[in-house]
Amino acid sequence: MRVLLISVYELGHQPLHVASPAARLAEAGYDVRALDLSLSPFDTAELNDVDRVAISVPMHTAMRLALEVVDRITEAQPGLPICLYGLYAGLVPTEAVDRVIGGEYEALLIDWVESGAEGPSVDLSRQSFLQPRRKILPPLDAYAHLAVDGDHRIVGYLEASHGCRHRCKHCPIPALYDGVFRIVGIDTLLADSDQLVEMGAQHITLGDPDFLNGPAHALRVIRALHERHPSLTFDVTIKVEHLIAHADLLPELASCGVIFVVSAFESTNDDLLDFLDKGHTSEEMGKAVQLVRDAGMEIRPTFLPFTPWTTLGDVLDMFEFLERWNLDVDPVQLTIRLLVPEDSLLIDPAHDVLGAYDPRLLGYVWESELDDLQRRFAAIVEHGDDDLLNQMFHAALQLAGQEVRDLQIDVEEGRPRLTEPWFC
């Protein structure tokens, strides 16, 4: 049986969520093919002689794009079995495809290929993972690079864990995993790192929802990777509260090659942070910045600047926070609107501000007095060229009726960042 695995978008890195299940399917004796539609257009000729199609949907953007692909497959090959799997698979109307699999999907994906089981299903059980089959995908240099010190370096991608112990209300992970946290074995990670280095990787993104969900496992992983490949550098994602609670671990992360940390700051409004169950305050965000820098790493915060409760004052405070801490933020980060999917933990606490569910958006509609400003920010990012943060800051100041000035942020060219700035 021939199985086609499709990735539509995986944050600009080579899609692990195609490469990993491809290994399991190949071990089970299936002929596995792979497409990454983020790099090439979809040619329906790829469906010839295919018996089943499975599409990876690890994020909201991927889910929306995947539904368009489903329509094209159905039109080109009526009756061809289709499965959607991954974090956002549960958002698809069950009648649109044959199978929907969430959570730790690999065993259920094998079962679907073997049995043709239909309908939605979620598996959160512990699973073992094989070395991903990466060579069926485009080469690493086709994907996002690390930009640092005026240089671009090839990037690989690993996940040492899935799920999360926390329950931030706006995050899709707790809605599915409900506090469950699953690890990937170190032997698998080391074997995968070996092939990534062989493919040219000079830097590795460890894309766990939070690298310090399991500090002991995280340390074992980063020590083992550094010992195996001392020249590799890394980036990780860590919550503010974990950066503070485990501040003693940060110097060792740096000594093992971690050069920057992504952290979901979201807002500088403490009431909103509390409402979202973020587990930190704006003051602690500043403390986290200092701790990371003191350890010898850079921090790249992400934000959720537009929610139904955000005020213009909150937006201006966010810019002032960036200025105060001299933070380098990708401008697209400041355009993001809150997504409220069908199974979001926000539905009950936010019911009074939510409109109807929009199946095209795959989320609930909401409006605010800052919608025009958000659209203005998005247009600046889409059509602007230089000095985007200042253009956005100027737009917010003008709306507030304040004197326009430039942000006083000294963004050194050498600060490490990935060339793909999107996070959802």
CATH number for the domain harbouring residue 312: 3.20.20.70
| Residue 220 and residue 357 in one domain | yes
pLDDT over threshold 90, residue 190 = yes
Q: Last residue of a domain, which of 93, 123, 153?
A: 123
| Residue 181 and residue 249 in one domain | yes
Instruction: State pLDDT tens for residues 57-87.
Output: 998 889 999 999 999 999 999 999 999 999 9
Do the strands 161-163 and 181-183 form a parallel or antiparallel pair, or are they unpaired?
A: antiparallel
Q: What secondary structure letter does DSSP report for 279?
A: S
**Which residue carries 């605010």 as its tokens?**
368
Mean pLDDT of the region 140-164: 95
Type of residue numbered 257: G
CA separation for the pair 284, 213 (Å, rounded): 18
Q: Is residue 128 part of a domain?
A: no
| Residue 229 and residue 324 in one domain | yes
pLDDT over threshold 80, residue 424 = no
Contact indicator for 16, 56 with CB cutoff of 8 Å: no
pLDDT over threshold 90, residue 120 = no
Mean pLDDT of the region 93-100: 82
Q: Angle at which helices 388-400 and 312-324 pack, to 10 degrees?
A: 140
For 390, phi then psi, to 5°, come to -65, -40
pLDDT over threshold 80, residue 423 = no
Which value, to the nearest 10 degrees, does the dihedral of the CA atoms of residues 378, 379, 384, 390 take? Answer: -60
pLDDT over threshold 70, residue 413 = no
Q: Angle at which helices 282-294 and 312-324 pack, to 10 degrees?
A: 20
| Residue 119 and residue 151 in one domain | no
| Residue 197 and residue 111 in one domain | no
Three-state DSSP class for residue 409: coil
- Going by C-alpha positions, the residue among 251, 150, 164, 259 that lies closest to residue 204 is 259
| Residue 172 and residue 296 in one domain | yes
Mean pLDDT of the region 330-341: 94
CA separation for the pair 342, 339 (Å, rounded): 10
Write the Ramachandran bin of 116: left for phi over 0, alpha for psi from -120 to 50, otherwise beta: left
Residue 347 CA to its chain's centroid (Å): 22
| Residue 148 and residue 71 in one domain | no
pLDDT over threshold 80, residue 337 = yes
| Residue 147 and residue 115 in one domain | no
Q: Is residue 130 part of a domain?
A: no
* Total structural domains within the chain: 2
Q: Is residue 380 part of a domain?
A: yes
CA separation for the pair 26, 330 (Å, rounded): 39
**pLDDT value, residue 268:** 97
Q: Last residue of a domain, which of 123, 153, 185?
A: 123
| Residue 91 and residue 147 in one domain | no
Q: What secondary structure letter does DSSP report for 119?
A: E
Angle at 376 between CA 370 and CA 379, to 5 degrees: 145
Question: Which domain covers residue 401, as residue numbers?
Answer: 143-418
| Residue 100 and residue 206 in one domain | no
Average pLDDT over the chain reads 94
pLDDT band at 243 (very low <50, low <70, confident <90, very high): very high
For 419, phi then psi, to 5°, come to -80, -5
Mean pLDDT of the region 182-200: 97
| Residue 304 and residue 370 in one domain | yes
Write the Ramachandran bin of 385: left for phi over 0, alpha for psi from -120 to 50, otherwise beta: alpha
Contact indicator for 357, 364 with CB cutoff of 8 Å: yes
For 189, phi then psi, to 5°, come to -65, -40
| Residue 147 and residue 58 in one domain | no
Q: Is residue 203 part of a domain?
A: yes
The pTM assigned to this predicted structure is: 0.95
**pLDDT value, residue 119:** 84
Q: What secondary structure letter does DSSP report for 131?
A: P
**pLDDT value, residue 360:** 86
CA separation for the pair 198, 32 (Å, rounded): 22
pLDDT over threshold 90, residue 90 = no
**Which residue carries 């991903």 as its tokens?**
132
